[in-house]
Amino acid sequence: MTSPERPGVRLTDGFARAFPELGVPWKAAATPEPRLLALNEQLAAELGLDPEYLRSDEGVRLVTGTWVPEGATPVAQAYAGHQFGGYSPRLGDGRALLMGELADGRDLHLKGSGRTPFARGGDGLAAVGPMLREYVISEAMHALGVRTTRSLAVVDTGATVQRETPLPGAVLARVAASHLRVGTFQFARSTGDVELLRRLADHAIARHHPRAADAENRYLELFTAVLDAQASLVADWMLIGFIHGVMNTDNTTISGETIDYGPCAFMEGFDPATVFSSIDTQGRYAYGNQPPIVQWNLARFAETLIPLVDDDENAAVEALTAALGTFPARYDRAWTEGMRRKLGLPAALGRSEEPGDSAAQGHSAAPDVEAAPDDEAAPDDEAVAPLLDELSRLLTATRVDYTTFFRALIPAAEGDTSQVRELVGELADGWLRRWREMNPSVSVMAATNPVYIPRNHLVEEALDAASGGDLSLVEELLVVVTDPYTERPGLERYASPAPPDASPHVTYCGT
Ligand code: AMP
Ligand code: MG
């Protein structure tokens, strides 16, 4: 425990103590010459942590795990998971540690902190480039209003990591609502210890979905709450063109936060088949496949809950199957609401929220945007549906840059269609006319459609420079993407797609 007169951090070991079966107490690897590369001062302040302290020797040792505050018990967490559809009974934190819970209940977690008993063949390490990548993209996602783990700091360890070439090693310190995953439940279920599974489910309810505790069947309600949170999350991804790239069940959270930024990237030209990850040869995690894949992952979650939902296995399967069947409608509703905001046609007041709709509320992708007042007679979903269908066809046919297109609709809403014309010629004229008859709100659109996303070629350029010791481009990129809706002069290159002659972007796992 830190005394009040001394800055520091208070970490508790609630998870480690409650679930000895799901974690191995472990120590981070020594860091030869730690050097702080990035510190999220805003997040630190939100967490009540003093940035000056985090910059101190002890602070840097904290965010690399080589200094452990009294009261904390870092653990490598155990989990299982389906990776690209194949089941691995024992994954776990191979190169990560849960340091403990912060004062607000969130996890402080490290990635790249050395081998653990779950490391299998891995070296337990991470390189500067991929850790800064997670930092930049997760913070961009947060600024875009998408639920995500946050990045607190990246430290160059001074060690060399051997990949295809020798690279500088790094540790990322991240903060998450928790690190409970579908894979955590798969692991707990595989032990055959139903009481462990029940404790885990009760922990998840208390921590993330407390309203489920009052339901007649709290475990079925937990499932429904996670279903809703994940439907809303993947809708948010789709609305901004985000491709996670490695949606294994161990990367699907119970909280509904995006986790584990590995081979993720943003789609530029619209194409549902877009894949960036070099190992995703079948396109399992392609842009357009993300909603059904989340549903598939949630089916795996449902399987783990069978013994809790009903003593009668058939009844449990029936109830969980029925709940799972509501996923497409939940997803459609979240996506349609988001798409209406992108088009400046928010639903009429009072229409978008349903009682009992616990998990997704308050986590929509858009910043707080007022629903249209009743007297403006927002078009109903039946009127908007054909407009959305036609828009999908238009985007698919033209493969227009997704982000630029929606931003170009803002002047078009006021009659200046020149930017849209520049992108898709006259193809959109009829659509634009029908859309404008619905009186789109420019202010809603401007607050919903980003100017700046972390574009792949700019992310790579910045990370290459950082791996060579020059952090200035990463710092500039962060300034740009953490304020994505404010168009600023001089930042035009950040708003433009990769040059047409650029080779296709490829991302790699094993980072
Ligand atoms: P990820 O793709 O980052 O979600 O990781 C999948 C699994 O591989 C997790 O169990 C990780 O802990 C493990 N892993 C990934 N990279 C390494 C590494 N370099 N050393 C040890 N384990 C790793
Ligand atoms: Mg993972």
pLDDT at position 376 is: 60
Q: Is residue 89 part of a domain?
A: yes
Beta-carbon count within 10 A of 70 CB: 9
pLDDT at position 8 is: 82
Q: Is residue 314 part of a domain?
A: yes
- pLDDT tops 80 at residue 382: yes
Q: Give per-residue pLDDT as tens, 70-118.
A: 999 999 999 999 999 999 999 999 999 999 999 999 999 999 999 999 9
Q: Is residue 90 part of a domain?
A: yes
Q: Taking a C-beta distance cutoff of 8 angstroms, is the pair 343, 435 a contact? A: yes
Dig out the tokens for 268 from the structure. Answer: 């530029």
Among all bound ligands, the one having the nearest atom to the CA of 253 is: 2
Could you tell me which residues come within 8 angstroms of residue 198 by beta carbon, excluding any fewer than 6 positions away?
A: 308
On whether both 161 and 37 belong to a single domain, the answer is yes
- Residue 267 buriedness (CB in 10 A; 0-12 / 13-18 / 19+): buried
pLDDT at position 503 is: 80
On whether both 164 and 199 belong to a single domain, the answer is no
> Which one of 139, 156, 179 terminates a domain?
179
How remote is the CA of residue 9 from the centroid of ligand 1, in Å?
27
Q: Is residue 468 part of a domain?
A: no
DSSP state of 285: T
Could you tell me which residues come within 8 angstroms of residue 164 by beta carbon, excluding any fewer than 6 positions away?
A: none
Measured between alpha carbons, how far is 237 from 250 in angstroms, rounded to an integer? 18
Q: Give per-residue pLDDT as tens, 336-357.
A: 999 999 999 998 654 444 433 4
On whether both 309 and 329 belong to a single domain, the answer is yes
How remote is the CA of residue 167 from the centroid of ligand 1, in Å?
17
Among all bound ligands, the one having the nearest atom to the CA of 262 is: 1
Q: Give per-residue pLDDT as tens, 130-158.
A: 999 999 999 999 999 999 999 999 999 99
Report the nearest-CA residue for atom 12 of ligand 1: 94
- pLDDT tops 80 at residue 284: yes
- pLDDT tops 60 at residue 421: yes
On whether both 191 and 319 belong to a single domain, the answer is yes
How remote is the CA of residue 190 from the centroid of ligand 1, in Å?
20
Q: Is residue 489 part of a domain?
A: no
On whether both 212 and 150 belong to a single domain, the answer is no
- pLDDT tops 80 at residue 1: no
On whether both 280 and 216 belong to a single domain, the answer is yes
505 band by pLDDT with thresholds 50, 70 and 90? confident
On whether both 140 and 192 belong to a single domain, the answer is no
pLDDT at position 347 is: 84
Tell me which of 228, 236, 250, 260 is the catalytic residue.
250
Residue 273: phi and psi, rounded to 5, are -85, 5
> Which one of 179, 197, 224 terminates a domain?
179
DSSP state of 87: E
Report the nearest-CA residue for atom 8 of ligand 1: 94
Q: Taking a C-beta distance cutoff of 8 angstroms, is the pair 103, 47 a contact? A: yes
Report the nearest-CA residue for atom 22 of ligand 1: 94
Measured between alpha carbons, how far is 43 from 261 in angstroms, rounded to an integer? 18
Domain of residue 143, residue span: 14-179
On whether both 23 and 163 belong to a single domain, the answer is yes
pLDDT at position 131 is: 98
Measured between alpha carbons, how far is 262 from 14 in angstroms, rounded to an integer? 28
Could you tell me which residues come within 8 angstroms of residue 484 by beta carbon, excluding any fewer than 6 positions away?
A: 140, 143, 144, 450, 451, 452, 453
> Ligand 1: which of 75, 82, 84, 91 to mutate, judged by most atoms within 8 Å of the beta carbon?
91
Q: Taking a C-beta distance cutoff of 8 angstroms, is the pair 33, 152 a contact? A: no
Report the nearest-CA residue for atom 7 of ligand 1: 91
375 band by pLDDT with thresholds 50, 70 and 90? very low
> Ligand 1: which of 87, 95, 252 to mutate, judged by most atoms within 8 Å of the beta carbon?
95
First to last CA, the chain: 35
How remote is the CA of residue 260 from the centroid of ligand 2, in Å?
5
On whether both 147 and 281 belong to a single domain, the answer is no
Gyration radius (Cα) of the chain, Å? 23
Measured between alpha carbons, how far is 463 from 322 in angstroms, rounded to an integer? 46
On whether both 48 and 154 belong to a single domain, the answer is yes
Which of 461, 486, 499 lies closest to 133 in space, CA to CA? 461
> Which one of 179, 205, 227 terminates a domain?
179
On whether both 20 and 129 belong to a single domain, the answer is yes
How remote is the CA of residue 378 from the centroid of ligand 1, in Å?
48
Q: Is residue 447 part of a domain?
A: no
Measured between alpha carbons, how far is 59 from 69 in angstroms, rounded to an integer? 10
**Ligand 1, CB cutoff 6 Å, lining residues:** 91-96, 118-119, 122-125, 246, 251, 260, 262, 509
DSSP state of 33: S
Q: Is residue 458 part of a domain?
A: no
Measured between alpha carbons, how far is 416 from 363 in angstroms, rounded to an integer? 33
Q: What is the DSSP string of 241-267?
A: TEE-S---GGG-BSS--B---SS-EE-
Per-residue CA distances from 23 to 99, 179, 249, 255, 495 (Å): 11, 12, 18, 19, 44
310 vs 354, residue with greater confidence: 310
Element (H, E) at 142: helix 128-143
- pLDDT tops 50 at residue 360: no
Could you tell me which residues come within 8 angstroms of residue 181 by beta carbon, excluding any fewer than 6 positions away?
A: 79, 81, 249, 250, 251, 252, 253, 254, 259
Q: Is residue 312 part of a domain?
A: yes
SS3 27: coil
Mark whether 250 is an active-site residue.
Answer: yes
Report the nearest-CA residue for atom 14 of ligand 1: 94
**For the whole model, what pTM was predicted?**
0.94
On whether both 151 and 190 belong to a single domain, the answer is no
Tell me how many domains the chain contains.
2
Q: Taking a C-beta distance cutoff of 8 angstroms, is the pair 34, 156 a contact? A: yes
In percent, how much of the chain has pLDDT > 90? Answer: 89
Question: What mean pLDDT value characterizes the chain?
Answer: 93
